[in-house]
Amino acid sequence: MPTARLILEDGTTYDGESFGSTENAIGEVVFNTSLTGYQEIATDPSYRFQIVTMTYPHIGNYGIEREVAQSEEPQVAGFVVRDAIETPSNVHSQMSLADYFRQHRIAAIQGIDTRALTRKLRNEGAMRGMITTDAARGVDDVVAEVRRAPSMSGLDLVQRVTALRAYPFDEHPSEIRKRIAVYDFGCKRDILRHLTQEGCEVTVYPATTHADEILAKRPDGVLLSNGPGDPEPVTYAQENIRGMIGKIPIFGICLGHQLLGLALGGRTYKLKFGHRGGNHPVKDLRNGRVEITAQNHGFAVDPDSLPNTVEHTHINLNDQTLEGFRHRTEPILAVQYHPEAAPGPHDSFYLFGEFMQMIDEFSGSSRR
């Protein structure tokens, strides 16, 4: 395998070997603490423009299976691991992780000290970087190019990952009980699968779809999906959400949670190194229950900025950041983490049931 380097914007260099595309890749370098689920992570649209470092040392053990992909192709800018497994041990594997990345022209590097890199990102924060196989290129030249790349703050990446047109999700249940409209800000497939498992007919809409167009279809509820980038510049989504508040039940997940917070008058801010992994403890403030959650976000909602009409329902036990809220009078539910758990534990599946119950309560009210 050709030699490769990961060079951060401060000039720190990690030497290793390429196991993906040999093209240069620039992105925000982040880390994920999940032990499994590398394919779900690599295909999650929320990772657009990010170079993901896996803290677990052996990655690629079970190869690639089309069925677990969260989108049609890898979404990461690049991938960093300690040891990439070339020969998967899985009867269902269709190819190795290395072949998958080469096929889709994703830069990947192995053989570096991922613990040292993770410690640096934890101490100094996520930063831009480049994976390159160009050994002749000087570090200063690479750093200059990396620093010209856009910062994640202020970056609207939603329009790079959203659907181009509305479409029905084709895994319909045998008995349809509800109709759900999903705003696609970079939606993972397992979110759609969970909705169908709840007996929902699901239609996915582009992120720029006007609220009036959604409401005219008379769905029973609206889900605001996960997605990449900074929520603040996604003003078109915030306006559409404001146009639906009080008119239909709304469930926001991850970026959808942040956009709902902004639409309600709150503020968001960038976390130092974000929450990414399948082992984040979250406390439900309503009943004291602690759930282990899957997370992937670099921004958060400032709880003090939300109006008094919003109840804080969940907090992160690692850093006390806001992980969920509900509106006290309107049918609105939102969580910062990923209840579909792809990958991750299943502790948060109940939230899809809460969304269904909220829809039932709204349908039975005089406001419907």
Q: Which residues are catalytic?
A: 254, 338, 340
- d(CA 298, CA 281) in angstroms, rounded, equals 17
d(CA 210, CA 250): 15
**Listed residue (332, 304, 336) closest to 323, CA to CA:** 336
Give dist(CA 244, CA 285) in Å, integer: 27
**Dist. CA 38–CA 36, nearest whole Å:** 6
Q: How far apart are CA 53 and CA 82, in angstroms?
A: 9
The residue assigned the tokens 């060079």 is 7
Please state, in angstroms and rounded to a whole number, the distance separating the CA atoms of residues 265 and 105: 41
Q: How far apart are CA 350 and CA 362, in angstroms?
A: 19
Residue 285, number of CB atoms within 10 A of its CB? 15
Taken in order 321, 59, 115, 118, the sign of the CA dihedral is: negative
Q: 173 is written with which tokens?
A: 């249940």
Inter-CA distances, 6 with 110, 196, 308, Å: 10, 41, 46
Task: Report cis status (omega within 30 of 0) of the bond before 343.
Answer: yes
